[in-house]
């Protein structure tokens, strides 16, 4: 009987471990999804039409889309969306273009949660309107042009995935909402607006980054303009007068005395004074001097602490030199949390599904508890959110930006498989 009990206990332990492993897996993707006739038809469409996909990618890249000037690119996207049956298309006052692909509904619509699955791809770039955007296609299988990687590749992928779903007549239980956002590069402004004016989705997937990335956190980013003002005075009368320039200079010096975690810390932080300006003439005290501060970390508490110390340095400098200090936020994106805070996300479908899809496609997943994309808005609001990669490339935000052509197809297949898995195939 003793041997029987041991075998029963061992069997019970194995059953418990198996159930725990299944519970922790959390992925809504299985290889069987990739082998369904409708899904294989959609994947085959992406293969068969890839030349057209690349041509559209090039066309989109050559449409100027500096943040706040996305209108021409948005018009093209809207026109293409209107060619796809069954979409509910709208443009909001901010300029975001939304295409809702209604699901069939049912008791489990959207990974067992009420609500929709959002795919966000930002349309804007950082490049001035007069930038030469002509795409160069090189023999090594790469495209070269400003904006070709960040984030035009995602916009092209999203359009092609919608066409593939339509061609294959794919149905999902949950709604799929494709949001082509604006002003992402100015602090995720388009996504913040969209989230504030629409029902909260079940999950958010942003497409933005190198292929293989799975960013499940949110980098807190505070961009501030620090302004010091005084009445001003002619140089000849400047002795012992309130001095905005001296206050700003002292403040900058003092800011750089604020202690940061070590560069190799598990949770680092960084700040930088990036811009300076002010004054009207050489021979007078400037009535206003300003500079900007860029502060970043994923730790919400540390973000507030560092910000408070920086503010204290500015206020003290202003008092010391008899001037007025004001702070203007350029961007205020909150932090998503430390890795231990987000640990449960590692077993959530929003992370596990992209990881399993990437492994299925032969791409090594690169998990990151940070991120600086439209997904940040969801993370901070407590909505399961992740940012996935679009293609392989580099030198983003520069004139030498480039992207690998072949990996764009893999990025599109990744997007399709993640979305149909999270929204649950009918």
95 CB neighbour count, 10 Å cutoff: 21
Q: Report pLDDT for 24.
A: 39
The CATH number covering residue 203 comes to 3.40.630.10
When pLDDT is cut at 50, 70 and 90, the band that residue 2 belongs to is: very low
Q: Are residues 384 and 413 in the same domain?
A: yes
Give the single-character DSSP code of 145.
S
Q: Which of 180, 150, 192 lies closest to 72, judged by CA?
A: 180
**Domain end call among 333, 366, 385:** 333
Structure tokens at 241: 């007068």
When pLDDT is cut at 50, 70 and 90, the band that residue 105 belongs to is: confident
Q: Are residues 146 and 197 in the same domain?
A: yes
pTM as predicted: 0.88
CB 323 within 8 A of CB 228: yes
Residue with tokens 């149905």: 171
Per-residue pLDDT of 324-335, as tens digits, reads 999 999 999 999
Count: domains in the chain: 2
Lowest mean pLDDT among 19-33, 78-92, 97-111, 350-364: 19-33
Q: Are residues 312 and 237 in the same domain?
A: yes
Has residue 21 been placed in a domain? no
When pLDDT is cut at 50, 70 and 90, the band that residue 107 belongs to is: low
Question: Which stretches does DSSP call E strand in 104-237?
Answer: 117-122, 136-138, 142-144, 176-181, 203-207, 213-215, 220-229
**Domain end call among 315, 333, 351:** 333
The residue range of the domain holding 241 is 220-333
Q: Are residues 233 and 374 in the same domain?
A: no
Q: Are residues 91 and 200 in the same domain?
A: yes
**Domain end call among 333, 359, 381:** 333
Separation between Cα atoms, residue 215 and residue 354, nearest integer Å = 10
Residue with tokens 């070709």: 148
Has residue 6 been placed in a domain? no
Q: Are residues 226 and 287 in the same domain?
A: yes
Strand partners, 387: 206, 215
Q: Are residues 315 and 403 in the same domain?
A: no
Lowest mean pLDDT among 29-33, 115-119, 285-289, 405-409: 115-119
Has residue 210 been placed in a domain? yes
Has residue 113 been placed in a domain? yes
Has residue 16 been placed in a domain? no
Has residue 151 been placed in a domain? yes
pLDDT at residue 59 is higher than 70: yes
The CATH number covering residue 307 comes to 3.30.70.360
Q: Are residues 84 and 137 in the same domain?
A: yes
Has residue 9 been placed in a domain? no
Q: Report pLDDT for 7.
A: 36
Asked if the peptide bond before residue 151 counts as cis, ω within 30 degrees of 0, the response is yes
Q: Are residues 77 and 144 in the same domain?
A: yes
Has residue 261 been placed in a domain? yes
Burial class (CB in 10 A: 0-12, 13-18, 19+), 305: middle
Q: Are residues 262 and 410 in the same domain?
A: no
Per-residue pLDDT of 153-192, as tens digits, reads 999 999 999 999 999 999 999 999 999 999 999 999 999 9
Q: Are residues 58 and 186 in the same domain?
A: yes
Q: Are residues 193 and 61 in the same domain?
A: yes
């Amino acid at each position: 009987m003793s041997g029987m009990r041991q075998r029963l206990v061992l069997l019970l332990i194995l059953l418990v471990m198996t159930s725990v492993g299944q519970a922790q897996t959390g992925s809504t993707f299985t290889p069987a999804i990739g082998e369904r006739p409708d899904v294989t038809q959609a994947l085959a469409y992406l293969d068969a039409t890839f030349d057209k996909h690349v041509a559209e990618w090039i066309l989109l890249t050559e449409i100027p889309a500096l943040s706040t000037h996305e209108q021409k690119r948005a018009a093209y996207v809207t026109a293409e969306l209107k060619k796809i049956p069954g979409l509910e298309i709208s443009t909001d006052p901010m300029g975001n273009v939304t295409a809702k692909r209604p699901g069939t509904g049912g008791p489990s619509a959207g990974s067992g949660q009420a609500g929709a699955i959002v795919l966000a791809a930002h349309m804007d770039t950082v490049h001035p309107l007069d930038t030469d955007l002509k795409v160069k296609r090189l023999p090594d299988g790469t495209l070269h042009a400003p904006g070709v990687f960040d984030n035009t590749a995602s916009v092209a992928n999203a359009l092609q995935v919608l066409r593939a779903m339509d061609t294959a007549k794919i149905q999902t239980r949950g709604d799929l909402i494709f949001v082509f956002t604006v002003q992402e590069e100015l602090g995720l402004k388009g996504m913040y607006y969209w989230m504030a004016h629409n029902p909260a989705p079940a999950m958010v997937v942003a497409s933005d980054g190198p292929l293989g990335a799975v960013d499940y956190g949110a980098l807190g980013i505070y961009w501030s303009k620090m302004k010091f003002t005084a009445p001003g005075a002619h140089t000849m009368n400047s002795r012992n007068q309130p001095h905005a320039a001296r206050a700003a200079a002292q403040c900058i010096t003092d800011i750089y005395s604020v202690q940061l975690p070590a560069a190799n810390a598990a949770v680092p932080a960084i700040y930088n004074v990036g811009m300076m300006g002010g004054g009207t003439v050489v021979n007078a005290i400037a009535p206003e001097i300003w500079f900007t501060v860029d502060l970043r970390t994923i730790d919400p508490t540390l973000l507030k602490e560092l910000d408070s110390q920086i503010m204290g340095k500015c206020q003290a400098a202003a008092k010391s030199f008899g001037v007025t200090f004001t702070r203007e936020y350029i961007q205020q994106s909150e932090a998503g949390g430390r890795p231990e805070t987000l640990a449960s996300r590692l077993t959530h479908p929003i992370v596990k599904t992209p990881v399993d899809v990437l492994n299925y496609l032969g791409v090594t997943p690169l998990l990151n508890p940070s991120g600086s994309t439209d997904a940040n808005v969801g993370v901070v609001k407590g909505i399961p959110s992740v940012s996935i990669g679009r293609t392989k490339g580099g030198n983003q935000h520069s004139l030498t930006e480039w992207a690998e052509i072949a990996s764009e197809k893999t990025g599109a297949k990744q997007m399709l498989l993640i979305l149909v898995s999270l929204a649950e195939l009918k």
